[in-house]
Structure 1
Amino acid sequence: MNLGKRALILIFPVVLAGYLLAAVSVHVTQSRSIRALEHAKLSQRLEHAAAVFQNEIGRSKGFLNALLNGNSLRQYVSETDASYRANALGVRLQESVKSLLDDPTGYVSLALLSSELKSEYYFENSWDPFAEIDEAQLNLARRLIREDKLADWTYLYEAGQRPRIVYSFFLDPIAFTRPLPSKKSNALLVQVAIQPDRFLDMQQALKKEYGSDIVLQPWPQAITDDLSASVHLGPSLYATLTVSSEHFDALMARQKILLALGAVAMSLFSIWLIIMLIRRFITDPIATLDANVMAVMVGARDEIRDMEEKGEIGRLTENIRELHRQSVQSLKLVQRSSWTDTLTGISNRGHFNALAAGVVREAIAAGEKCSLLFIDIDNFKFVNDKHGHEIGDELLKTLAARIAERVDVITERRGQKPAILARLSGDEFAVLVRSRPGDGTVREISGAILSLFEDGFEVSDKRYPVTASIGAAICPDDATNLTELIANADAAMYQAKTSGKNRSARYSRALHDKRTRLRQIQDELRSLDPDEQFHLVYMPMVDTEGRVTGCEALLRWYSPVLGNVTPDEFVPIAESSGLFTKIDWWVINKAMSDCGQLKALFGPETVLAINISSAELHSKAIADHFADCLERHGLEARSIEIELTETFAVKFSDQLRRNIDALRQNGFRLSIDDFGAGYTSVQQIIEYTADTIKLDRALVSNLTASHSLPVLKALIALCHAKDVAVVGEGIDTPEKLSMLTAAGCDLFQGYLISKPLPIEDLAIWALTRTARYAHDEALDEQQSRQAIA
């Protein structure tokens, strides 16, 4: 990373933090002002709406006054000829009403009502030529007739009706003036209704802008912390608009975004300016000095040029030039020591990489071969920890000397070029041999190195329990560059370790294919859809009388790419790569969905055993998932037995204990699977609570020998003493079944009873088994009758 990038990484966060802090300060100080401004704006908008509403009221009153002052209404009211009044004067009155409209399509209505609410005249300028006065306006007229008022206006705005301002006026039909209160019963009620279009448009605009509608109510709104305002529209009529908090939050969010963008923009500009100055006066001179030093290091020049810089950089240039002159004298000694491992005195990794890369290139260019042996000391950490680092260091030094001696003897005898021996790290060594194909050099060197560890490795007249695992790879058969050669030899070494240690292994196509398959399995597990490629099979468990008491769900995988993949292949990969949660959760849900069919086959008390990964036990969500699936499929917790591999108890953390306690409290049964496979002890039987112990098939095979019957009885008796049922796995012979039955085993599982079957085949197996038992019982009964006879 150059100085410019370092400066950017160091300065940019500081500058950005400063501008962001300033932006936050501005936001905090301005938020209240913005809120007050928004409140003032809202109040002003409502006041404007109120003014428009009052103007609409005045317009309705003006309509009525214009009609009262005109001749059309007077003639209509005064005319006694009903036919002439309805036809000629009614049409003239309509024309008078329309003439008062600014917009010919605007809504206005005129109603003349008697004191008995009889409609003397009604006209409505709308698309309905047969319109009649509606119930809301009649109710208004009925109320006004009961009251003492002779004139009034009302805003009708009920839901589902046309909002309108109705101006009402009681008219003496004879004097054509406002009647005396005592003559109100003989007066006509004149009602002019208009639709306040401008007010309604403003109401919709406010709703669109603020996301809230104007609320009309007979009282003003109480004072709250919300962004709201109320205005007086008329007697007992107030318009209130309360803005939702989301609107103000969105407004503030926009301000935050603008402030943040401004802070980032100013930061970028400031950083650009600072970087330009730093580059001009600091980094460029240092880069020039670095180029001069690099030219000297690669041999392009012998001396560092004078840069004619002043200040610190100039002094730094002179100091480096002097340091270069002083270091030239000791360069060869330093270089020689840098290629050597300080403990063993042989080449280190850096020297090995330099030498071996050249040998590999030469071998490929000449069409020859070379072989790499990757050596790892088994159990070295144990010796180092038990006997101390001094013994460990002495062991490594002695080993390096003995390997070098054996390898030199072999290469000299065969007339080959000296091998390259190096200590790569810790207890790992490498030997690169330039050998001819098939001459046995690699085999002989591997055997000579392994012979050093017969009966342990001797150091200072004392033997230590270490061995060696050796992996061999050949160039160019196995790799065409040093990196691949080391990686493949390392893989072969691990193959030797897994095969039992103290041996050698050659990198092969089979090993390559195995690594490739493992990688493919991991890739497929990441992308597969469990419903498409996974399926479950069920292996029944029977009691001593042969009744099926439960079934174990076992996962099977058929991949369109890989074909059948066994659980032994994909389960360890899924657990090590963190992919088993998806698998476990699918198995739990699928198995519980099949539980009803199992109960239908074998009875309502049938127990479904589900295996889960030991790694999954450390997840807090596993108990909740079991409970959710249980509720989803309508099952009882006692019908589900969760099988835990015995390795779960090796690291029994607090979270693991809480998860297991949660499962037991929910009513689930717990089972320890593969008991005796390598980790379980009697102490664990005593300490960890379980409903069932499943004896591993290997343990069953060992203990069902006749001389092991007492041990088997004691083990089962110990489990029974803890009130734990015992299941014998791997029952594939009648002898094992008889021996486990004699020892007191409760349940049995194995190929002698049934192999794992899909649920459809399991149904056929159950029917066949039922028919066979019925046939056997009939034969027994017939034989009994014959014996009695």
Structure 2
Amino acid sequence: MTLGKRALILIFPVVLAGYLLAAFSVHIAQSRSIRALEHAKLSQRLEHTAAVFQNEVRRSKGFLNALLNGNALRQFVSETDRSYRANALGVGLQESVKSLSDDPMGFVSFVIFNSKLETEYYFENSWDPFAEIDQAQVELARQLTRRSKLGDWTYLHGAGDRPRIVYSLFVDPITFGRPMPSAKASALLMQVAVQPDRFLDMQAALKKEYGADIVLQPWPLAITDNLSASVPLGPSLHATLTISDAHFNNQMLRQKVLLALGALVMSLFSICLIIVLIRRFITGPIATLDANVMAVMAGARDDIADVKEAGEIGRLTQNIRELHRQSVHSLQLVQQSSWTDTLTGISNRAHFNMLAATAVGEAIAAGEKRSLLFIDIDNFKFVNDKHGHNVGDDLLKTLAARIADSVDTITRKRGQKPAILARLSGDEFAVLVRSRPGDGTVREISAAILALFDGGFEVSGRRYPVTASIGAAICPDDASTIAELISNADAAMYQAKSGGKNRSARFSRAINDKRTRLRQIQEELRSLDPDEQFRLVYMPIVDALGQVTGCEALLRWHSPVLGSVTPDEFVPIAESSGLFTKIDWWVIDKAMSDCAQLKSLFGPQTVLAINISSAELHSRSISDYFSDRLTRHGIQPQSIDIELTETFAVKVSDQLHRNIEELRRQGFRLSIDDFGAGYTSVQQIIDYAADTIKLDRALVSNLAASQSLPVLQAVIALCHAKDMAVVGEGVDTPEKLAMLTAAGCDRFQGYLISKPLSLDDLAIWALTRTVCSPEGPATEELVAWPAAAALA
């Protein structure tokens, strides 16, 4: 804990307690004054409310007097024709009522009672065109007829949903003045009712502020609390408002909080002043020493400055300076170790990122360019696996030294700044060349590095079959940050690998477009609706007599964003991204739904072949899904041939074994597709039972080109020995067909027979074969069906 914190902890509670005690004393002295002030404020607010109410009463009186002095009311009363009075004069009287209202939207009503208290006329300014006088106002009229007064006002606030001030007046129908008391029974009773909106708003405001409502009664309430007030609204109506102690306590609570905050602020101010004095004369020299030490630790200074202080602080400064001198050397050794690759002795990834980021930033600021070479050793894993990791480590150390020597020789010869060399990871190296692109430096360095691998890489008198692939990217043409620059150079390196290894490649728009398209395909696969963008086409499979025995379902994708995307392009992306489950399941469901139509074209024995992703074979739900689709579409399992690519046998898990056995148990046919593509061995054909082997088109083409009929016969014989039928794929020439037939192949598939077709086109193709292949001997059909296929 610092000296300043110790002083703060010791002094602050004492200062705070003193100010809180003073605040408490002020609160006790001011509470009575605040209570008296609240009472005066309440009385003033209530008197203002009463004045507003009385003004509303006067407004209702003036409203009725204005009607009495107008011609519309006189004409209405004196007219004897009741129909004319109700239709014509009533409308005029209604307009007079509306014209006298200050607020067009405010509520006002006018009613005329005859001597029998029957309603001669009623109108109210409201949204209800069929409004009628309510019972409370009728009852008020009855009460007034029993009294001696000829005019009075009343506040109706307990009946109905509209509080209103009603001013009532008995009027002589002839003189339009007040009748004699003896003639009151034959006089008309007129009432004007207005809604005291301002009074109601002030009443609501008082209730919201004080939490209590105004009490209206004919007499004032007994005041038993100091925070209460009562004012008269009329001769027989008083308004009283009583505030609860809780409201006053809340007011006092706010005062307590303000006093407490004031005490806290004053305490903080006082303690700050005290701390400033303590820091200036006590902790200041120590803080200066601490700042010097921190500056050295942060790298802002090289040594600790000497302070002119005597006593303990001076001796402490000298001791720390000496300790710093002793630790600098150790720190430099540790820092060098953290930035150096322990195996090769050159910079590691962290050091390279720091140096390269600085160089790239300086180049961009100066309008210059920098080039990055990303180097990967081809076949290095082979060296590690075959000769051991010790040999691999020696190879990397030797390579790092030779690359450093070659790069340094070229840059010194050209008079350039030294390049930045680092081992990023494993067998990956990076070289940041600080020269102008196009001057030949990058090309010369790349050639020198590739020359190190001519005839293999020599270590300790022995050569190893490794090469190098180099990717180059330029800043800021290809990227503006070191992370993007490494990524783009890495992409260019993979382009060099795909081009045959032991070469260099420059990052280009084509590489970027390829990476962008891969990302776009992934995004489209994640969001697409298979029913809208996918479709299936079918490729017929025929036997030696030309009869269609089955069809293979092939997937086609047309994206509204990407256009047509081939399966060779999107299938590997879907499998590597874990997106192939929904594709496989859509293909299974769609193909089975078309199975009945295929059988109607080629007969009930037609078999539908469906390709399944190798990754999907490991799913526990695949057999259940096949079974569910069979039930849904009403087909037999013997009609479905599940084609498994030969890569499924490379890594066989227990779950895959169980899935295959379950599919076979349910009655599905199984085929190994693309046999001869490079994965399947003879032993695997023996181990994995299948109904059909499909020879890959590349294998068929190679054997046909080399006239290797005995080899083909041996492969087919082996399959027949395992009770497997053989389908030859890629049959696109009569020569391939003839060779497969001579070798004993059972069925054939390829463009010589038919290209993949939609169901509609497949129906036309089937009809064309029927027309072009007349019935005849089997040998004639064998010659005729390829010609018919060519027409398709």
TM-score (norm 1): 0.58
Summarize the alignment of residues 273-292 of structure 1 with structure 2, pairs less than 5 Å apart.
none
Distance 1:523 1:768 in 2: 42
Q: Secondary structure at the match of 1:346?
A: coil
1:260-659 mapped onto 2 (5 Å cutoff): 296-299=296-299, 326-659=326-659
Distance 2:697 2:647 in 1: 16
Give the CA deviation at 1:296: 4.6
Counterparts of 1:19-168 in structure 2, within 5 Å, are: none
Alignment-mate amino acid for residue 615 of structure 1: A
Q: Structure 1's 756 and 490: CA in aligned 2 closer, same or farther, altered over 3 A?
A: same
Measured in 1, the distance between the counterparts of 2:507 and 2:713 equals 48
SS in 1 for 2:773: helix
Over 3 Å counting, the alpha-carbon distance change for 1:712 and 1:323 in structure 2 is: farther
In 2 relative to 1, CA 777–708 (structure 1 residues): closer, same or farther, beyond 3 Å? closer
Equivalent residue for 1:772?
772
> Does 2:702 match 1:711?
no
Letter in 2 for 1:477: D
Q: Structure 1 residues 545 and 393 mapped into 2: Cα distance closer, same or farther (>3 Å)?
A: same
- Other-structure match for 2:246: none
Mapped contact 1:296–1:304 kept (Cα < 8 A): no
Alpha-carbon separation, structure 2, partners of 1:617 and 1:322: 71
Q: Which amino acid aligns with 1:472?
A: A
1:625 shift after superposition = 0.3
1:500 CA drift (Å): 2.5
In structure 2, what is the Cα distance between the partners aligned to 1:433 and 1:627?
Answer: 62
Distance apart, 1:439 and its partner CA? 2.3
Post-superposition shift, 1:718? 0.5
**Would you say the 8 A contact 2:545–2:778 is kept in 1?**
no
How many angstroms does 1:706 deviate by? 5.6
Cα 1:424–1:293 change in 2 (3 A) is farther
Other-structure match for 1:670: 670
Q: Within 1, Cα distance between the matches of 2:304 and 2:550?
A: 86
The Cα of 1:363 is off from its aligned counterpart by 1.7
**Unmatched 5+ stretches in structure 2:** 1-288, 307-317, 782-792
- What is the letter of the counterpart of residue 339 of structure 1? W
Deviation of 1:529 after TM superposition, in Å, equals 0.7
> Residues 531 and 323 from structure 1, CA distance in 2 versus in 1: closer, same or farther, beyond 3 angstroms?
farther
Please give the alpha-carbon distance, in whole angstroms, between the structure 1 residues aligned to 2:634 and 2:750: 30
Is the alpha carbon distance of 1:573 and 1:291 closer, same or farther for their aligned partners in structure 2, counting shifts above 3 Å? farther
SS, match of residue 707 in structure 1? coil
In the TM superposition, residue 465 of structure 1 has moved relative to its aligned partner by 1.5
Deviation at 1:292, TM superposition (A): 9.7
Post-superposition offset of 1:775: 8.1
Cα deviation code 1:273-331 (max 9, x no counterpart)? xxxxxxxxxxxxxxxx99998655324576699xxxxxxxxxxxx99999766423433
1:640 partner amino acid: I
Q: Given the superposition, is the C-alpha separation of residues 600 and 319 from structure 1 closer, same or farther in structure 2, using an over 3 Å criterion?
A: farther
Deviations 1:577-610 (A, max 9, x none): 1111100000000000000000000000000000
Deviations 1:131-177 (A, max 9, x none): xxxxxxxxxxxxxxxxxxxxxxxxxxxxxxxxxxxxxxxxxxxxxxx
Letter in 1 for 2:347: S
User: Are residues 457 and 733 of structure 1, via their aligned partners in 2, closer, same or farther at CA, if it must alter by over 3 Å?
Assistant: same
Instruction: Quote the RMSD (CA, aligned, Å).
Output: 2.9
Pairing 1:145-224 to 2, within 5 Å after superposition:
none
Distance 1:294 1:625 in 2: 68
CA positional deviation for 1:422: 1.2
Inter-partner Cα distance in structure 1 for 2:683 and 2:621 = 29
Q: Is residue 537–residue 555 contact of structure 1 (8 Å, CA) maintained in 2?
A: yes
Give me the identity figure in percent: 81
After TM superposition, the structure 1 stretch with the greater mean CA deviation from structure 2, 474-483 or 593-602, is 474-483
Residue 443 to residue 537, structure 1, CA distance change in 2 (3 Å): same
Q: Which residue in 1 is equivalent to 2:13?
A: none
Residues 703, 329 of structure 1: alpha-carbon distance in 2 compared, 3 angstrom cutoff: closer
User: Mean alpha-carbon deviation: is it higher for 569-578 or for 496-505?
Assistant: 496-505
Letter in 1 for 2:578: G
Distance, in Å, in 1 between the alignment partners of 2:322 and 2:670 is 76
**Alpha-carbon distance in structure 1 between the residues aligned to 2:623 and 2:432:** 55
> Quick check: 1:686 aligned with 2:686?
yes
SS in structure 2 at match of 1:745: coil
Distance in 1 separating the partners of 2:632 and 2:359: 66
CA distance in 2: counterparts of 1:440 and 1:582, whole angstroms: 51
Partners of 2:695 and 2:429 in 1: CA distance: 43
Partner of 1:237: none
CA distance in 2, matches of 1:593, 1:324: 82
| Separation in structure 1 between the aligned mates of residue 496 and residue 692 of structure 2, nearest angstrom | 38
Amino acid in the other structure paired with 1:382: F
Shift of the alpha carbon at 1:527? 0.8
Cα displacement string for residues 395-447 of structure 1 (whole angstroms, at most 9, x for unaligned residues): 11111111112222222333322211111122111111123232222222112
- After TM superposition, give the deviation of residue 393 of structure 1 in Å: 1.8
Q: C-alpha distance in 1, partners of 2:292/2:560? A: 60
Quick one: which amino acid aligns to residue 755 of structure 1?
K
Q: Which moved more, 1:444-453 or 1:592-601?
A: 444-453
SS of 1:523's equivalent? helix
Shift of 1:388: 2.5
Q: 1:596/1:336 Cα in 2 relative to 1: closer, same or farther (>3 Å)?
A: same
Partner of 1:138: none
- Tell me how far apart the structure 2 counterparts of residues 324 and 564 of structure 1 sit (CA, whole Å): 69
Question: 2:776 and 2:573 mapped to 1: Cα distance?
Answer: 47
Is the 1:704–1:712 Cα contact (8 Å) retained in structure 2? no
Which blocks of at least 5 consecutive residues in structure 1 are unaligned?
A: 1-288, 306-317, 782-789
In structure 2, what is the equivalent of residue 697 of structure 1? Answer: 697
Aligned amino acid, residue 413 of structure 1:
K
Count of aligned positions: 484
Partner of 2:86: none
Following the alignment from structure 1 to structure 2, what is the Cα–Cα distance between the partners of residues 319 and 587?
A: 80
More displaced stretch, 645-654 vs 335-344: 335-344
Q: Provide the rounded CA distance (Å) in 2 between the counterparts of 1:674 and 1:560.
A: 31
- Corresponding residue for 2:224? none
1-side partners of 2:419 and 2:461: how far apart? Answer: 29
Q: CA deviation at 1:485?
A: 0.3
Paired amino acid for 2:685:
I
Offset, 1:732 = 0.7
Larger Rg: 2
Indicate if the aligned counterparts of 1:375 and 1:468 stay in contact, CA closer than 8 A: yes
Q: CA deviation at 1:365?
A: 1.9
Aligned to 1:704, the other structure's residue is in SS state helix
Q: Deviations over 1:115-143 (max 9, x none)?
A: xxxxxxxxxxxxxxxxxxxxxxxxxxxxx
For 1:614 and 1:547, the matched residues in 2 are separated by 31
- 1:535 and 1:331, CA in 2 relative to 1: closer, same or farther beyond 3 A? same
